Structure 1
Amino acid sequence: MTIETRNSGMGTRARGIGLAAVRGLALALVSLPGAVLGFTLSLVSIVLVPVGIGVFTTPWVLTGVRAFANWRRVLAAEWGGVRIPSAYRPVPEDANPWTRTYAMLRDPATWRDLRWLQVDMTAGFVTALLPAVLVFYPLEGFAVAAGLWRPLAETGGYWYGFVRVADQTSALAAGALALVLLVPAHFFTTRLLHAHFALTRAVLAPSQTELAERVKVLTETRRDAVDTSAAELRRIERDLHDGAQARLVAMGMDLGTIETLLDKDPAQAKRLLAQARQSSVEALTELRDLVRGIHPPVLAERGLGDAVRALALRLPVATEVTVELDGRPDAPVESAAYFAVSEVLTNAVKHSGADRIWIDLHHSEGMLRISVTDNGRGGAVIEAGSGLAGVERRLGTFDGVLAVSSPAGGPTMVTLEIPCA
């Protein structure tokens, strides 16, 4: 039983070493051309930014580099058990080329990726190739000892390490050398592959400063969310106090008066009864509006797409809505997106002078993306106290971003992105 367990363990160890060698070879074959190509294209594209060409090419090239880096993060986790966090700043897909290029070049993660490409094509290539060399080179020695030396000898001899193979005796010496080389292969193959991924993590992982900055941003957005929630509760309390509650109190007083006048002045009681009925209708309308402002029933029942379509139907401007959503986002995300769109539409109707609005909702690559475009006068900006600033704070709670493209004369495009499964 002990012998069987030992043999099983040795077989598992051998398979692990062989797998590490194959994975190292695959990484070496991919890392060198991939890193060279990515770094070269990035460098050329960034250099061409001042002349305008790079503005259009840089976002695509850097997006490819990020995809390459993220793929290596996945391999590091699956093949080496090395977790490498990603800290890219979100970039709106529908932003104009200047905005996307500027945002990506300002991101420290972009320059970290470019440094990693240089390391990956040098030290990374070596650390990926060594596990394969440690395993496959001894196998070559065994093949030489088994008879491969004969066709090699016909070409004038063959050097295996420091052994010159010209006959069967020297071939056996090469086999003995290969057997010796299996010892470091046994101990270092998997460690070298892990070292490759550790090197990748050392270069690709965000710094503590970046993580601290990220925590600071998240803390600020959470605080803004709490402040916004508190302000919303105060608004609801004020609306109830000044609206529905006041009407209900007045109705109670009218009903008391009606009770007194029923026998003395039936006509006046009838008039007051009609007034009380009208007050009840108005109070009910105010309560419905208040509930709709908290969480619209159509949003809860029909989802974000139909809720936005309902918003569009109430607008005094011709509005076209395109929805491409396979499912429903989480309720908090759905609610935040709805009220953000509502605020953007309100701004467009009030300030843009537009006679047509287009709304597009779709989900791709783990992001809920919404764009609101109008053909108005333009000039919209995100500034303190504005509705767009409130939308930005609302989205920040979910790590979402808001981008505004609104040149003078229009058109205006407001893009919202929220991470969403």
Structure 2
Amino acid sequence: MDWEERIRTARAAGLRGLGLALRALVVGLPLFVATVVSIALVPAGIGVLLAPRALAALRRFADEQRERGQAWSGVRVDRPYRGPARGLRPLLDPATWRDLLWLVVNLPVAVATGLVPVALTAWTVFGVVIVPIVITSGAEGEFWPVAVGIGVLAAALLVIVPPLVLELHARFSAALLSPPRRALEARVDRLEETRADAVDAGAAELRRIEKDLHDGAQARIAALGMTIGLAEQLVRTDPARAEALLAEARDTSGQALADLRRLVRGIHPPVLAERGLVEAVRALAVVLPVPTTVFADDDVRGAPPIEAALYFAVAEALANVAKHSRAARAWVTLRAPSGLLVVEVGDDGTGGAQVPPAGGLAGVRRRLGAFDGRLAVTSPPGGPTVLSMEVPCGS
């Protein structure tokens, strides 16, 4: 890195540090006061309305610092939250209280981060610019050489220190805004478990496809070849019989094609690839015997593997509604809060739904777990039954 680039980097770091200081004073301090006051007012009732907004703003402020630390200093900070910031749920999340602690401790740290480049700049201007002008004007003073030396030293430090100070601020923030070690260990354990489940599910899916091909399309295509061969032998001696065999072969080819189409739909439905998750779920709801309403946000989109996992999860849930719930109506809700795809499938049936280890819902849980997703089932006796599925999908 040449000196010109070093100077540009130092200047950018100094301006960013100054911006962090101003942001901590102008935004961070009022946000801390508003959050603490709204939490304190929760028992009085008014805090129930104020706290969710303050907590959501606190999380956004902390997320912005995580992004800045990554972009400016290369310090990665993972999000430690247990779920989306809805209602008063963040109060039960330890990460919220660490965010609040960071917010108040960050105030002096950010101010110091912004003042260091300002102080170095001031000493540089005083020692390298002002003092020589004073000396050339004939003013006497024993401390002028010392001031010039300090100015030169400050100028050298001004090229080196601001990026280091900015990185120190990013590492300080990471210490409070990162998941604790025990949470990271639990996440590693969960990832190992979901990876094993994904491998098992992939192997089971391959076996299912192989079985469907062997018992369906492959058997029909083999029969088709035999029928055409027999017709070929009879075409001269018994044309009528050969014609009948060819008609039978045409029917068999149609059945084999239908088997292949069903197999493809079981791997990745065309409607899902062409029209997205919402329209694919609406197509499922249309053919369900139980009247089903689909509610969806406009921006419900995700990566194709995630959409496929949620599609088959909804298909399994709706199949259970039709088979076991005795419901008069059902509904599906698809939402896309920050960084998540959330799908809820509910019905007004008899309730009592469970997740047996070898059942379809257990397979849904494993399928979602491969994407770090979660499945929650609420089904008291007498209903209603609600299956909630959450899958991280990025911004």
Query: What's 1:113 paired with?
Result: 99
Q: Equivalent residues in 2 for 1:161-240 (5 A)? A: 182-183=151-152, 185-186=154-155, 187=157, 189-190=161-162, 191-240=164-213
Other-structure match for 1:76: 69
> Which residue identity lines up with residue 28 of structure 1 in the other structure?
A
Q: CA deviation at 1:228?
A: 0.9
Alpha carbons 2:346, 2:384 under 8 Å: kept: no
- SS of 2:83's partner is coil
TM score, norm. by length of structure 2: 0.73
C-alpha distance after superposition, 1:115-149 (max 9, x if no partner): 3224213444334433334434776899999xxxx
Q: Aligned pair in 2 of structure 1 residues 260, 143: CA closer, same or farther (>3 Å)?
A: closer
Corresponding position: 1:414 with 2:391: no
In 1, the alpha carbon distance for the partners of 2:385 and 2:115 equals 54
Per the normalisation by structure 1, the TM-score is: 0.69
- Structure 1 residues 62-73: aligned runs within 5 Å: 62-73=55-66
Q: Secondary structure of 1:85's match?
A: coil
Unaligned runs of at least 5 residues, structure 2 = 132-138
Rate the CA distance shift 1:17–1:279 in 2: closer, same or farther, 3 A: closer
Whether the 8 Å contact between 1:319 and 1:357 is mirrored in structure 2 is yes
| Corresponding letter in the other structure for 2:21 | A
Instruction: Give CA-to-partner distance per residue, 1:251-303, whole Å, 9 cap, x none.
Output: 77888999999999999999999888766655554443233212223333443
The code of the aligned residue for 1:412 comes to V
What's the offset of the Cα at 1:234?
A: 2.0
Residue equivalent to 2:23: 30
Q: Contact 1:368 / 1:419 at 8 angstroms: preserved in 2?
A: yes
Match for 2:112 among 126, 135, 139?
Answer: 126
CA distance in 1, matches of 2:385, 2:220: 44
- C-alpha distance in structure 2 between counterparts of 1:22 and 1:267, whole Å: 91
Q: Equivalents in 2 of 1:379, 1:246: separation in Å? A: 41
Partner Cα separation in structure 2 for residue 117 and residue 41 of structure 1: 12
Q: 2:289 and 2:280 mapped to 1: Cα distance?
A: 17
What is the CA distance between 1:27 and its match in structure 2? Answer: 1.9
- Maintained 8 Å contact 2:353/2:385: no
Mapped partners of 1:112, 1:291: distance in 2? 48
Q: In the alignment, does 2:312 pair up with 1:339?
A: yes
Q: Secondary structure at the match of 2:316?
A: helix
For residue 314 of structure 1, report the CA deviation from its aligned partner: 1.5
Taking the aligned partners of 1:232 and 1:245, their CA distance within structure 2 comes to: 18
Q: Please report how far the alpha carbon of residue 405 of structure 1 lies from its aligned counterpart in structure 2 after TM superposition.
A: 4.8
Structure ID, larger Rg: 1
Q: Is contact 2:124-2:152 (8 Å) kept?
A: no
Amino acid at match of 2:92: L
CA apart distance, 1:380: 4.2
Unaligned runs of 5+ in 1: 1-7, 146-168
Q: Could you tell me how far apart the structure 2 residues matched to 1:334 and 1:221 are? A: 18
User: Which residue type is aligned with residue 67 of structure 2?
Assistant: V
- Cα deviation code 1:131-172 (max 9, x no counterpart): 334434776899999xxxxxxxxxxxxxxxxxxxxxxx89x8
Q: 1:274 to 1:131 in 2, by over 3 A?
A: closer
Evaluate the alpha carbon distance shift between residue 409 and residue 332 of structure 1 in structure 2; reply closer, same or farther with a 3 A threshold. closer
CA shift digits 1:219-277 (9 cap, x unpaired): 22122111111112222333344445556667778889999999999999999998887
Residue 136 of structure 2 is matched in structure 1 by: none
- The 3-state SS of whatever aligns with 1:359 is strand
Q: 1:357 and 2:330 equivalent?
A: yes
Q: Distance in 1 between matches of 2:229 and 2:70?
A: 74
Q: Are the aligned partners of 1:361 and 1:370 in contact in 2 as well (CA < 8 Å)?
A: yes
Alignment of 1:173-322 (within 5 A): 182-183=151-152, 185-186=154-155, 187=157, 189-190=161-162, 191-244=164-217, 284-322=257-295
Amino acid at match of 1:120: N
